[in-house]
């Protein structure tokens, strides 16, 4: 596992909620655990809501970037969809897939000053192209690589080295996070951001020894007969 350089360590790792469930976002937001939100067509489908309406509501809840994904596959249509999505709010990040057309759309939309998240990244070369096309975020999908027996975390490590070698500003947004260990390993590998389902973020607080220790403390406390309030 790589040790992040001191220059990387000055930035606070950002947590994005990978969901279009406004209730779950609100709960995490109260704890200051939501620096941004990522959605995709599958998450919009799961929410059962209209993309424009739910994205506007989410964008009003958080200060950080809210990714909304285009569904066109041709660059010119992606650009039109991206412009429409970007109009929803100032903090929209337009998500485009890592295809040749997606890169064209990334170049055009980032040239207009829009924040672009290039998604469905599965290789370091794809990440290099996205950075050159002006992406603000690159989203390597860790879990889906693990699904096919490829170490998703190695991709994060490779991109970190490449981006640092050339001082690319593109932020590494570790995506398709399925477990608390993915979060830890992404942090160790120096990902700038991780996006995870709210449940994974909640699970990060759990440890059986914490529960066991708390039970023991509370049992002993009962025996004292004391009260704090
Ligand atoms: O951020 C991308 C994410 O939503 C994909 O996750 O679990 O469907 O691979 P998953």
Among the listed residues 14, 95, 114, 171, the single catalytic one is: 95
Check whether 3 has a pLDDT greater than 60: no
> Rounded to the nearest whole angstrom, what is the distance from the C-alpha of residue 83 to the centroid of ligand 1?
24
User: What percent of the chain has pLDDT above 70?
Assistant: 96
**Ligand 1 atom closest to 195 (CA):** 1
Write the pLDDT tens digit of every residue in 70-114.
999 999 999 999 999 999 999 999 999 999 999 999 999 999 999
User: What percent of the chain has pLDDT above 90?
Assistant: 95
Residues 114 and 116: their CA atoms lie apart, in Å, by: 6
What integer is the mean pLDDT of 125-134? 98
What ranges in 62-179 are assigned the alpha helix state H?
Answer: 75-86, 100-111, 124-132, 142-147, 152-166
Instruction: Tell me phi and psi for residue 162, to 5 degrees.
Output: -65, -45
Q: How confident is the model at residue 11 (pLDDT cuts 50, 70, 90)?
A: confident
In Å, how far are 87, 105, 151 from 94, measured between CA atoms? 10, 10, 27
* Residue nearest (by alpha carbon) to ligand 1 atom 7: 176
What integer is the mean pLDDT of 173-202? 98
pLDDT the model gives residue 184: 98
Write the pLDDT tens digit of every residue in 171-186.
999 999 999 999 999 9
Instruction: Tell me phi and psi for residue 211, to 5 degrees.
Output: -65, -45
Mutate which of 143, 156, 194 for ligand 1 pocket (most atoms within 8 A of beta carbon): 143
* CA nearest neighbour of 3 among 152, 122, 164: 164
pLDDT the model gives residue 26: 97
Q: How confident is the model at residue 198 (pLDDT cuts 50, 70, 90)?
A: very high
Q: How confident is the model at residue 6 (pLDDT cuts 50, 70, 90)?
A: very low
Measured in whole angstroms, the distance separating CA 74 from the mean position of its chain's CA atoms is 25
Residue 146 Cβ contacting ligand 1 at under 6 Å: no
Check whether 47 has a pLDDT greater than 70: yes
Kindly report the average pLDDT of the chain as a whole number. Answer: 95
Check whether 202 has a pLDDT greater than 50: yes
> Rounded to the nearest whole angstrom, what is the distance from the C-alpha of residue 105 to the centroid of ligand 1?
22
pTM value is: 0.94
114 a catalytic residue: no
Q: How confident is the model at residue 9 (pLDDT cuts 50, 70, 90)?
A: low
Residues 211 and 198: their CA atoms lie apart, in Å, by: 21
């Amino acid at each position: 596992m790589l040790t992040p350089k001191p220059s990387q360590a000055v930035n606070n790792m950002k947590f994005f909620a990978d969901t279009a469930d406004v209730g779950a976002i609100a709960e995490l937001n109260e704890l200051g655990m939501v620096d941004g939100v990522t959605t995709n067509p599958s998450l919009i489908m799961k929410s059962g809501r209209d993309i424009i309406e739910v994205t506007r509501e989410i964008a009003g809840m958080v200060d950080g970037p809210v990714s909304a994904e285009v569904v066109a596959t041709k660059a010119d249509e992606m650009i039109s969809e991206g412009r429409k999505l970007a109009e929803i709010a100032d903090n929209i990040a337009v998500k485009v897939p890592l295809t040749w057309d997606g890169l064209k759309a990334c170049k055009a939309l980032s040239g207009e000053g829009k924040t672009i998240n290039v998604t469905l990244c599965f290789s370091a070369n794809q990440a290099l192209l996205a950075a050159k096309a002006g992406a603000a975020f690159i989203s390597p999908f860790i879990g889906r690589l693990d699904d096919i027996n490829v170490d998703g975390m190695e991709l994060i490590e490779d991109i970190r080295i490449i981006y640092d070698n050339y001082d690319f500003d593109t932020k590494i947004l570790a995506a398709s996070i399925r477990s608390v260990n993915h979060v830890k390993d992404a942090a160790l590998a120096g990902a700038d951001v991780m996006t995870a389902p709210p449940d994974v973020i909640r699970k990060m607080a759990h440890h059986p020894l914490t529960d066991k220790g708390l039970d023991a403390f509370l049992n002993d406390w009962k025996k004292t007969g004391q009260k704090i309030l």
